[in-house]
Amino acid sequence: MQGLFVKSPILKIALGILGALGCIILLGLVLLTEDVRMADQTDNWAAREIENGALLYANNCASCHGPDGKGLPGVAPALNSHYFFTNRLEDVGYIGSLEDFVRLTIAAGRPSKASSQWAQKMPTWGSQFGGPMRGDQVIEVTKFVMNYQDDALAQTPEEDPFQPFKDVRKPVNEQTIGEPKEAVESAAPAEAGAVRAPDQLFSAMACLGCHMLDQEQSTTNRGLVGPNFGNLAENAATRVAGLSAEEYVYQSITEPAAFVVEGYTPGIMPATFAETLSEEEIRGLVAWLLDPAR
Ligand code: HEC
Ligand code: HEC
């Protein structure tokens, strides 16, 4: 007993400090391995998402986009493509990330594209747009498509299964495959305060997935998902008594629930544009949509 008893106060303090240090180091070690354990767990999750996505892809997408994602001639574009991962966003004028573009395209599809170089339309998959997939399934299949990246970036221009798109603003012969360009950077979110052009917003905000600009809206030619905009100026002036065409279109964008066009389902048109667009951008869109010369 006597041997364990320490008399010197200095020694006592030193032992105390050593003990505390020991505890801190031990705690640090535990935390460190915990981080690794958590990271492993996150990797597991990501791997599981991609695996589930692969199954969804094989069952729902492979028939058009090919079993290896390399597209089928005339049927659907390649997703496992160098071009797709480097230059596609710039050519469509999409402002967000490629992952967002893929997720939104899968969820909304491109059901209302008028004429197309492809045999069939890209179907709508997300349940929020009336498709068969839950939100988490759309995310899983998106992760699977994004997982083509390494494979796609390793392709030489000759190996790229890319089929030029006939409907982007860039002429077919200028849609290059080559090296990743700054372009992908410039497709990053607009700087705070910058006003984005209406035609750019129309694709970036996925309006074109639901509204056709070049088709008239009539009883015999109704837009499938949302009304056609070919004759929007005339229609907008008569929709709501007391609202001018400008006021009506403004309200349609900022508050879609305020008036629902007959024959369409409320809640399909996103109600978030008042937050994601600036006042100036909304005004720009309204003027552009109503301009017969757009
Ligand atoms: C019936 C055929 C068909 C099926 C099935 C199909 N797609 Fe598509 N997909 C298309 C066509 C056609 C396009 C090009 C549409 C256009 O721009 O006109 C397309 C476009 C896309 C794009 C955008 C490509 C780009 O460069 O703009 C993505 C991403 C995509 N599809 C993913 C999927 C996924 C994931 C599935 C399965 C859940 C799927 N598609 C099922 C036909 C199909
Ligand atoms: C997911 C599909 C979808 C997207 C994306 C979408 N809309 Fe709509 N939109 C609809 C539907 C459905 C209606 C008709 C129901 C209603 O009035 O809310 C509609 C109605 C409208 C109307 C009224 C049309 C008329 O004939 O009276 C305007 C204007 C409009 N949308 C503009 C836009 C703009 C601008 C964007 C992009 C910033 C956009 N929409 C994005 C589905 C969509």
**Residue 120 in this model has a pLDDT that exceeds 90:** no
Instruction: Provide the pLDDT for residue 204.
Output: 77
Centroid of ligand 1 to alpha carbon of 274 (angstroms): 29
pLDDT of residue 114: 64
pLDDT, position 243: 94
pLDDT tens digits along 195-216: 888 988 887 777 877 788 888 9
Examine the pLDDT at 179 and tell me if it is beyond 80: no
Supply the pLDDT for residue 172: 66
**pLDDT bucket at 180, cuts 50 / 70 / 90:** very low
Residues 44, 45, 51, 54: what is their CA dihedral angle, to the nearest 10 degrees? -140
CA of 138, closest atom in ligand 1: 38
Nearest alpha carbon, ligand 2 atom 37: 207
Highest mean pLDDT among 88-102, 256-270, 275-289: 275-289
Residue pLDDT, tens place only, 63-108: 999 999 999 988 899 999 999 999 999 888 788 899 999 999 999 9
Mean pLDDT of 269-277: 87
Spell out the SS3 assignment of the chain.
Answer: CHHHCCCCHHHHHHHHHHHHHHHHHHHHHHHHHHHHHHHHHHHHHHHHHHHHHHHHHHHHCHHHHCCCCCCECCCECCCCCHHHHHCHHHHHCCCCCHHHHHHHHHHHCCCCCCCCCCCCCCCCCEHHHCCCECHHHHHHHHHHHHCCHHHHHCCCCCCCCCCCCCCCCCCHHHCCCCCCCCHHHHCCCCCCCCCCCHHHHHHHCCHHHCCCCCCCCCCCCCCCCCCCCCCHHHHHHHHCCCCCHHHHHHHHHHCHHHCCCCCCCCCCCCCCHHHHCCHHHHHHHHHHHHCCCC
Percent of the chain clearing pLDDT 70 (strictly above)? 89
pLDDT for the residue numbered 177:
60
Q: Is the CB of 290 under 6 A from ligand 2?
A: no
Q: What are the φ and ψ backbone dihedral angles of 76, each rounded to 5 degrees?
A: -160, 150
Do residues 212 and 230 make contact, with C-beta atoms less than 8 angstroms apart?
yes
Residue 2's pLDDT band (cuts 50, 70, 90) = low
Q: What is the pLDDT of residue 95?
A: 80
Instruction: Kindly report, residue by residue over 234-254, the tens digit of the pLDDT.
Output: 999 999 999 999 999 999 999
Task: Answer whether residue 185 shows pLDDT above 60.
Answer: no
Q: What is the dihedral of CA 250, 256, 260, 265, to 10 degrees?
A: 150
Which one, of 114, 134, 116, 136, lies nearest residue 125 by Cα?
Answer: 134
Question: Among candidates 162, 159, 140, 142, which has minimal Cα distance to 86?
Answer: 162
- The neighbouring-strand residues paired with 76 are 72
pLDDT of res. 184:
40
Closest ligand 1 atom, residue 117 Cα: 18
Residue whose token pair is 């030489």: 156
The average pLDDT across 122-134 equals: 91
CB 268 within 8 A of CB 225: yes
d(CA 275, CA 255): 11
Q: What's CA 30's distance to the chain center, in Å? A: 39
Q: For ligand 2, is residue 209 a contact (CB within 6 Å)?
A: yes
Atom from ligand 2 closest to the CA of residue 249: 29
Q: What domains are defined for the chain? A: 65-186 (no CATH), 198-290 (1.10.760.10)
* Choice between 264 and 282, residue whose per-residue pLDDT is larger: 282
Paired residues of 133 in beta bridges: 126
Q: What is the pLDDT of residues 18-59, one digit of tens each?
A: 888 877 888 877 777 777 777 888 888 888 999 999 999 999
Q: What percent of the chain has pLDDT over 90?
A: 47
Q: Side chain identity at 280, as an amino acid letter? A: E
Which residues does a 6 A CB cutoff place in the pocket of ligand 1? 60-61, 63-65, 76-77, 79, 84, 88, 102, 105-106, 110, 113, 116, 118, 120, 122-123, 125, 141, 145
Beta bridge partners of 126: 133
Taking the centre of ligand 2 as the mean of its atom positions, its distance from the CA of residue 128, in whole angstroms, is: 15
Query: Which pLDDT does position 189 carry in this prediction?
Result: 46
User: What is the mean predicted confidence (pLDDT) over 118-141?
Assistant: 92
- What does the pLDDT read at residue 129? 86
Which residue owns the Cα nearest ligand 1 atom 37? 61
